[in-house]
């Protein structure tokens, strides 16, 4: 009985939250406590939408489609690479009160702007302005349908007010958090002072079982029975939501869906470009409103905030002072703005599993306010990405960094583990294939949030009297018990058998199916590690992350007057260059390296399929690729030259006078190894795994392409080694200038040429590749331009 009891209580631990008081009070994001941040563009997964920072927010959003273009329906809503837009993203966004986004569709551009206004008790008002312009290349003015919607998410109610000749004129609603409110749809005009344009109106009043169904519901309600008949022009049938459809007969709606149905209202306006439309949200508790935030007033507010944004951007990053061109500065503002405008507020439960669970468990419900790597492909939180995001955001607004970090640490469990990829809520879940959903508690991810904390501490100590210093201290005090457990978790679950060595858990298990079993947990997915995962393995990148983490733990503990000697000692041991060399220096490679059960003699080959004599081969299953091992593995250095070998340098652990630094600088600058005109490639061109596929379906990822987060660390390290005395100081400075210029120029050029910032860059051509827009860590380009590290 005892054994069983133990087992079941162990089984619950993975889904049991840490007992220390939360960093954030329950109501910390409420309209009462944080009114200025209540409403926001916290739905990064849609092209344009807003919600509040609350678990079950009323959401608002925009879908659109081009009329009369082709037979198929081009409905745009969630950010999809498949939509093939020429570019989209926030050009300006202060993370707080306003934003300006440009969306370039095939033959027209939508500018989507919002401005918030404080007042009342429920987060205030806001106004949207959508401006549509046709591209100069298109011969005919496109007719576009904008579909504005509001939806409740099991909480609150919405009521449509249909007016004659105007469709849905307004929506009124109520929810506990928002009180009473009204959303007004203004008529389209050509400019703020011009007359109303000819337009057709349609609306849909229905219910939804969940927010992930909104696109489908609209798609399924579309009908071609409506006629567009402008005063001067031909009559044509157009596509519109059909307001007469009874809400419960949509064939895709699953009648067994047990979820509570929530109100979903859509207002469609069909109008020819150019036009401008405004939508107002007004909170009933806002009594002293001086005027409506529309038309000229809206223009003035926008202009004022844009000017403030420009001034603050220059104050913060100083790019004009440094001589960057207007176009480069605009690019840089777009990079920052899309990271800020891509911040999401997610709520829901992770699916987690430990060795003690036969089946995955649901994690407790939780909230996450976080930046996301990519609004299209990965619009959710990733643990190690977030540390990089906050390096940039902390320069703009340290409060954002404190709040995001607090949210992440409030998701820690009693063991000290934080799920690496946060897939919270049905909307997020609907974007992730099943096999990626479950998060396992053996698995780590680099503790990069310590980089962000380091920045906050430096800001504090450089100006202890600054207005943000007190909040930072208070924040660190509440964070500390959780940080201790987090740090301990790495030190107990990710260590190796040799003292002071570390090993990533969670490597791929079916070793015969992969050229090299992946290590997703390290963040460097398919970067080559020991060919045969074993307990003897040790990873140099994790060793360095722990050296960094222990150092920051010591600083925080010192700052708070907490015991810090143990952290200092750990930091000293892990930073000991002799120990590091003993564990990780490979004489053969002349570089730092992982160690483990390894052989280089592996390749992928067609599996042999037995075909009986006389039988046609195609009657048998196609042979798949499997790994063949030509020489048995043995314990040795892995000897892959690339990002992992740079870590003692990247995280400033190597002493400035270490001759090993010379090796590292030489390998970095060698075009046959890591150097390219566009940044450092992830794996040396001379490595046997360079640009090798891992399976027939798995293209090389961290085996050559250029990644901006690691390049940022490299530029930052070069800056560091060029500023401390040492024999390689000048070499470091020269490399610093070259590398920084290469990266900045290429990310910028790709943006101009393609309209996007990208997940990675091709090491031969510099071309952006992978997911886009990727204004996660690739946006660190801004800090390189600003030379702020």
Helix (H, G, I), strand (E, B) or coil at 516: coil
**C-beta of 81 vs 628, nearer to ligand 6A9:** 81
Q: Give me the least distance between CB of 346 and ligand 6A9, in Å please.
A: 15
**C-beta of 78 vs 676, nearer to ligand 6A9:** 78
Cβ contacts of 741 within 8 Å, gap of 6 or more: none
DSSP sequence for 95-137: SSSEEEEEEE-SSEEEEEEEEEE--TTTT-EEEEEEEEEE-TT
Q: How many Cβ atoms sit within 10 Å of the Cβ of residue 143?
A: 22
Beta partners for residue 196, in sequence order: 189
What gap in Å lies between CA 520 and CA 523, rounded to an integer?
Answer: 5
Q: Please give the positions annotated as active site.
A: 525, 759
Q: Which residue is nearest to ligand 6A9 (CB)?
A: 373
Cβ contacts of 62 within 8 Å, gap of 6 or more: 46, 47, 48, 49, 77, 112, 128, 130, 146, 147, 148, 149
Yes or no: say if 56 and 178 are a contact pair by the CB < 8 Å rule: no
Closest of 155, 130, 150, 281 to residue 204, by C-alpha: 150
**C-beta of 353 vs 775, nearer to ligand 6A9:** 775
Yes or no: say if 84 and 91 are a contact pair by the CB < 8 Å rule: no
**C-beta of 200 vs 540, nearer to ligand 6A9:** 540
**C-beta of 89 vs 373, nearer to ligand 6A9:** 373
Q: How far apart are the first and last CA of the chain?
A: 57
Beta partners for residue 631, in sequence order: none
Helix (H, G, I), strand (E, B) or coil at 381: strand
**C-beta of 156 vs 381, nearer to ligand 6A9:** 381
Q: Give me the least distance between CB of 619 and ligand 6A9, in Å please.
A: 34
**C-beta of 297 vs 430, nearer to ligand 6A9:** 430
What gap in Å lies between CA 120 and CA 157, rounded to an integer?
Answer: 20
Q: Give me the least distance between CB of 542 and ligand 6A9, in Å please.
A: 14
Q: Give me the least distance between CB of 234 and ligand 6A9, in Å please.
A: 41
Q: In the structure encoding, which two tokens stand for residue 551, read together? A: 């150092």
Q: In the structure encoding, which two tokens stand for residue 59, read together? A: 């959401």
Closest of 265, 300, 279, 238 to residue 131, by C-alpha: 279
Q: In the structure encoding, which two tokens stand for residue 647, read together? A: 């870590």
651-to-9, 171, 643, 715 alpha-carbon distances in Å: 39, 54, 12, 11
Residue entry with tokens 């429920």: 122
Q: In the structure encoding, which two tokens stand for residue 646, read together? A: 């740079």
Chain residues in the site for ligand 6A9 (CB under 6 A): 373, 377-378, 382, 384-385, 431-433, 436, 523, 525, 776
Query: What are the respective helix, strand and coil percentages of the chain, to the nearest 5?
Result: 35, 25, 40
682-to-25, 122, 685, 720, 750 alpha-carbon distances in Å: 42, 48, 9, 21, 19
Q: Give me the least distance between CB of 654 and ligand 6A9, in Å please.
A: 24
DSSP sequence for 584-613: HEETTTTEE--EEEE-S-EEEEEPP----T
**C-beta of 245 vs 429, nearer to ligand 6A9:** 429
**C-beta of 583 vs 710, nearer to ligand 6A9:** 710
Cβ contacts of 287 within 8 Å, gap of 6 or more: 120
Q: What are phi and psi of 733, to 5 degrees?
A: -65, -40
What gap in Å lies between CA 36 and CA 50, rounded to an integer?
Answer: 14
Q: In the structure encoding, which two tokens stand for residue 319, read together? A: 């790019």
Longest dimension (CA), the chain: 89
Residue entry with tokens 């036969």: 358
Question: Strands 344-348, 366-370: parallel, antiparallel or unpaired by DSSP?
Answer: antiparallel
Residue entry with tokens 């740079």: 646
What gap in Å lies between CA 340 and CA 244, rounded to an integer?
Answer: 40
17 burial type by CB count under 10 A (0-12 exposed, 13-18 middle, 19+ buried): middle
- Four-point Cα dihedral 418, 419, 422, 425, nearest 10: -100
**C-beta of 222 vs 548, nearer to ligand 6A9:** 548
Question: Strands 351-353, 438-440: parallel, antiparallel or unpaired by DSSP?
Answer: parallel
Q: How many Cβ atoms sit within 10 Å of the Cβ of residue 638?
A: 25
What gap in Å lies between CA 755 and CA 739, rounded to an integer?
Answer: 23
**C-beta of 433 vs 467, nearer to ligand 6A9:** 433
**Dihedral of CA 712/717/718/724: which sign?**
positive
Q: Give me the least distance between CB of 377 and ligand 6A9, in Å please.
A: 5
DSSP assignment letter at 687? S
Q: Give me the least distance between CB of 760 and ligand 6A9, in Å please.
A: 9
**C-beta of 45 vs 206, nearer to ligand 6A9:** 45
What gap in Å lies between CA 253 and CA 248, rounded to an integer?
Answer: 8
**C-beta of 29 vs 775, nearer to ligand 6A9:** 775
Yes or no: say if 420 and 443 are a contact pair by the CB < 8 Å rule: yes
DSSP assignment letter at 249? G
């Amino acid at each position: 009985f005892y054994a069983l009891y133990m087992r079941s209580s162990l089984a619950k631990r993975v889904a049991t939250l840490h007992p220390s008081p939360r960093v954030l009070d329950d109501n910390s994001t409420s309209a009462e406590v944080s009114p200025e941040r209540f409403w926001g563009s916290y739905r990064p997964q849609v092209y344009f939408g807003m919600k509040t920072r609350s678990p079950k927010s009323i959401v608002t959003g925009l879908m659109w489609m081009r009329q009369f273009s082709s037979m198929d329906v081009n409905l745009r809503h969630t950010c999809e690479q498949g939509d093939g837009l020429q570019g989209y993203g926030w050009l300006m966004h202060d993370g707080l009160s306003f934003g300006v986004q440009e969306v370039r569709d095939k033959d027209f551009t939508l500018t989507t702007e919002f401005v918030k206004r404080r007042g009342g008790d429920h987060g205030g008002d806001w106004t949207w302005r959508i401006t549509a312009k046709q591209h100069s290349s298109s011969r005919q003015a496109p007719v576009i349908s904008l579909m504005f919607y509001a939806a409740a998410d099991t909480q609150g109610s919405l009521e449509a007010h249909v007016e004659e000749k105007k469709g849905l004129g307004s929506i009124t609603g109520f929810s506990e958090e928002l009180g009473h409110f009204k959303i007004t749809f203004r008529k389209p005009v050509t400019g703020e002072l011009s007359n109303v344009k000819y337009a057709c109106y349609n609306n849909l009043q229905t219910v939804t079982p969940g927010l992930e169904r909104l696109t489908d519901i609209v798609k399924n309600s579309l009908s071609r029975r409506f006629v567009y008949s402008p005063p001067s022009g031909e009559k044509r049938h157009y596509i519109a939501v059909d307001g007469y459809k009874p809400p419960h007969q949509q064939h895709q709606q699953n009648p067994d869906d047990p979820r509570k149905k929530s109100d979903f209202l859509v207002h469609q306006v069909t109008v020819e470009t150019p036009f401008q439309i405004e939508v107002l949200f007004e909170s009933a508790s806002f009594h002293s409103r001086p005027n409506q935030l529309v038309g000229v007033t809206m223009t003035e507010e926008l202009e004022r905030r844009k000017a403030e944004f420009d001034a603050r951007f220059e104050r913060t990053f100083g790019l004009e002072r440094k001589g960057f061109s207007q176009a480069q500065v605009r690019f840089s503002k777009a990079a920052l703005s899309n990271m800020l405008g891509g911040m999401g507020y997610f709520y829901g439960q992770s699916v987690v599993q430990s060795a003690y669970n036969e089946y995955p468990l649901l994690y407790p419900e939780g909230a996450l306010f976080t930046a996301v790597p990519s609004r299209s492909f990965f619009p959710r939180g990733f643990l190690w990405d977030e540390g990089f995001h906050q390096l940039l955001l902390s320069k703009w607004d340290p409060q954002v960094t404190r709040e995001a970090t607090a949210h992440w640490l409030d998701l820690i469990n009693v063991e000290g583990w934080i799920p690496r990829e946060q897939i919270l809520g049905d909307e997020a879940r609907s974007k992730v294939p099943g096999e990626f959903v479950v998060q396992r508690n053996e698995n780590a991810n680099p503790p990069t949030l310590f980089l962000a904390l380091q920045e906050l501490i430096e800001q504090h100590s450089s100006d202890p009297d600054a207005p943000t210093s007190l909040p930072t201290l208070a924040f660190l005090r509440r964070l500390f018990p959780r940080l201790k457990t987090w740090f301990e978790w790495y030190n107990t679950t990710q260590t190796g058998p040799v003292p002071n060595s570390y090993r990533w858990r969670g490597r791929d298990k079916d070793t015969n199916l992969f050229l090299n079993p992946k290590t997703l947990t390290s963040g460097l997915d398919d970067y080559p590690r020991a060919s045969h995962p074993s307990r003897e393995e040790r990873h140099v990148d994790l060793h360095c992350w722990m050296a960094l983490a222990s150092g920051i733990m010591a600083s925080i503990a010192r700052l708070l007057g907490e015991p810090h000697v143990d952290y200092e000692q750990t930091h000293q041991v892990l930073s000991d260059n002799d120990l590091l060399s003993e564990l990780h220096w490979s004489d053969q490679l002349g570089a730092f390296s992982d160690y483990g059960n390894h052989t280089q003699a592996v390749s992928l080959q067609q599996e042999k399929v037995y075909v009986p004599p006389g039988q046609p081969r195609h009657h048998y299953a196609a042979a798949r690729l499997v790994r063949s091992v030509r020489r048995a593995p043995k314990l040795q250095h892995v000897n892959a030259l690339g990002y992992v070998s740079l870590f003692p340098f990247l995280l400033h652990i190597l002493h400035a006078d270490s001759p090993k630094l010379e090796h590292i600088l030489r390998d970095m600058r060698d075009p046959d190894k890591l150097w390219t005109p566009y940044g450092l490639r992830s794996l040396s061109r001379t490595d046997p795994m360079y640009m090798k596929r891992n399976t027939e379906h798995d293209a090389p990822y961290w085996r050559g392409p250029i990644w901006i987060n690691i390049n940022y660390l490299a530029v930052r390290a070069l800056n560091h080694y060029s500023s401390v005395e040492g024999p390689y100081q000048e070499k470091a400075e020269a490399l610093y200038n070259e590398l920084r210029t290469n990266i900045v120029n290429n990310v910028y050029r790709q943006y101009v040429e393609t309209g996007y910032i990208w997940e990675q860059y091709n090491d031969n051509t510099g071309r952006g590749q992978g997911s886009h827009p990727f204004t996660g860590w690739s946006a660190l380009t801004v800090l390189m331009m600003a030379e702020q590290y």
